[in-house]
Structure formats: C-alpha cells, structure tokens
Amino acid sequence: MQALRIHAHGGPEVLVAEAVPDPVPAPDEVLVRIRACALNHLDLTLRAGFPTLKMELPRILGSDIAGELAATGEAVLLAPGVGCGLCHACLAGRDNECRRYQMLGYQRDGGYTELIAVPRRSVLPLPSGLDLTTAASMPLVFLTAWNMLVRRARVRPGQTVLVWAAASGVGIAAVQVAKLWGCRVFATARKEQLERARGLGADAVIDHYDSNLPVARAVKQLAPEGVDVVVEHVGQASWEQSLRALAPNGVLVTCGATTGYDARVDLRFLFSRQLRLKGSYMGRRADLDEVLDAVAAGKLRPVVDRVFPLAQAAAAHRYLAESHPFGKVVLAI
C-alpha cells in the first residue's frame, strides 16, 4: 500500500510518500480500508518532535480514521486509542488510563495510508447519513471534550463553562458538549471567528486577542463570580487567565498545551479559592459510542473546514498550523 511516513522529526517535508507492506491483522484484529483521516494538532507536535518524545520511527501519523471493513465494505469509524484490553483499568472501562494505551498515529501506525489493522473493539459501525469525511473529523476531539467535561469536570446543568479557542477542534466540540449538558457557555475566539463560535451555541463570545479586555475580566463582566469550569487546551498563553476566570471551587481541566507547557500556579489562589486542576487524556472507548449516538441524532455537529488529498498532507499540515481554520482539516484517501 501507499503510505506517508515520517523517518525523522521536522517540518512538513519529513512526510514521505512510499510503498509499505500491507498490515497483517492479528487474530483479534480486522483490516480497514481507510477513506478519510482527520488531522489534529497532535500530528504537528509528533511530526515536529520535542525533547522528551519517545516515538518509534518510521511512523504513519493520523489518529482519526473512517473507512470500510476490508472484508465486508461496511462503513466504520475507528476509536483513536486502544487499551490493552486486559488490565484493571481496561476491564473497568477506563481504557484511557491503561498503562499500555496506544494512540493510532503515535504509539502505533495511523491513518495517512490506505489500510490499517485494528482490534475489533476499536471499530464502530457508522450510522446512516453520516459521511466518512465528517465521521473522521469527530472521534479524537469530541471524545476529548466529553472526557474533560463529563468525566473529569463532572459538569451539571446550570453551570457556567469557559471554552478557549472555540474555532479549534477541541473548542468546537467542548462548546457543544457543554451545551448538551445544559451549561451556560462562554467561548473565546479571534475576532473574525466570534460569530461562528456563537453559531455553535455559545451564550457569549470573547475576543481572546483583545489587549484592552483580558479574557478573565471579560468573563467577570458576564459572570461576576467567575466560571465553574474552564476547558483549557491552549497552555502557557492562556493559563493565567484561565485561573483568574475560575469561581471559588471551580475546575480547570486541561488536555493540551499548544502554546507551551511551562505554566505557573500562584498557590495562594489555589488554596484560598479552593480551585481544582485536572488533567484529561483522550476518553473512554465506551463514551465514544455515546458521542457517536449524539452526532447521529444531530445533537453534536462535527465541523469540517477543508479537505486535502492524502498526497497533499504536507500542505494540510501547513494549513492547520498557519491558516486559523474553523473546524477540522481532513485528508481524503
């Protein structure tokens, strides 16, 4: 099969098109013909590399995959992460806490190619009416947002939630998941994307580049006590404002650090305001069924910004990094 692999970390040019052997499914695995693979910021991070990264090379990137079972042609979506299936965490349904958890496109080969072998439990049948491109744009970000809000922050109806970068994959998902759970949502975006953020269902929108009105102050104008939950995935650039925006006993839940990971916490505010900081990594396989049901019912709407052919994956990486897409960038295969 044809695949795009990286043999070294670096710029988009390290994505190399080459012929590789077809994957051979293990006894509990199925072979899937890939039709669409969505990009995530993770792909850019893994491609570029970072000092503490341990990653086997060469590697095929791509965590969000939709396609067809090679044997039957049935349309399917793949879970972006795979637990070992045997440990206590996996058997308890918390596979994203598995010590041997593997993400497609990271610890095992992903979707920038034509075929993939995955465990049978990774496969979700695609509901009718959901096309493969839209389906591929959904799993990682919606599962992440679900895990952040439902599992980690334990949101309840009537709570107020601040979502950073509502134009991003996780942001688009988090605004919708928070609304689905009956929350009041404030969403940040760059000025020209504020109206689209509102269109996702946000109750109020905040320009996160307005130097005259820092986000935490904008939040306090809308909710003087602060917010119950902050959905944080931006990192260093937004961290301080995230903490300042929290109400007493509020929860900051984070799943990423796109702008840097060297954040600081003023412990005086942490203890006196009884704040809670929570990490979130991917989500439970069983929750993906629930997310997909909500998408099929039209309660959650994945947003695709642009589709590139697989051969133009390097251009797609540049586009995601530089062009401020609203929604997901997807490779058609």
Site residues for Zn ion per CB under 5 A: 83-84, 87, 90, 98
Nearer to Zn ion, 59 or 284 (CB): 284
Closest separation between CB of residue 80 and Zn ion, Å?
Answer: 16
Nearer Cβ to Zn ion (88/156): 88
Q: Which residue is nearest to Zn ion (CB)?
A: 98
Q: Min. distance of Cβ 85 from Zn ion in angstroms?
A: 6
Question: Comparing C-alpha atoms, which of 74, 293, 180 is closest to residue 163?
Answer: 180
The smaller minimum CB distance to Zn ion, of residues 84 and 237, is found at 84
For the record, the structure tokens of 27 come out as: 């006894």
Q: Tell me the residue length of the chain.
A: 333
Report how far apart the first and last C-alpha atoms of the chain are (Å, whole number): 12
- Structure tokens given for 307: 């589709």
| Closer residue to Zn ion in complex, CB, 233/284 | 284
Q: HSE-up of 324 (CA within 13 Å, CB side)? A: 9
Please answer whether residues 169 and 197 qualify as being in contact, where contact means their C-beta atoms are separated by less than 8 angstroms: no
CB of 86 to Zn ion, least distance (A): 6
**Closer CB to Zn ion, 98 or 197, in the complex:** 98
For the beta carbon of residue 71, count every other beta carbon within 10 angstroms.
11
Q: Is 110 helix (H, G, I), strand (E, B) or coil?
A: coil
Element of type H or E holding 116: strand 115-119
Nearest approach, Cβ of 282 to Zn ion (angstroms)?
13
Q: Which amino acid is at 51?
A: P
Question: Which lies closer to Zn ion via its Cβ, residue 48 or residue 87?
Answer: 87
Closer residue to Zn ion, CB minimum distance, 137 or 280: 280
3-state helix, strand, coil in the chain (%, to 5): 35, 25, 40
Spatial separation of the C-alpha atoms in residues 301 and 315, rounded to whole Å: 26
Supply the minimum distance, in Å, between the C-beta of residue 100 and Zn ion.
5
CB of 91 to Zn ion, least distance (A): 8
CA 257 distance to own-chain centroid: 12
Q: How far is the CB of 101 from Zn ion (least distance, A)?
A: 7
Q: Cis before residue 25, ω within 30 degrees of 0?
A: no
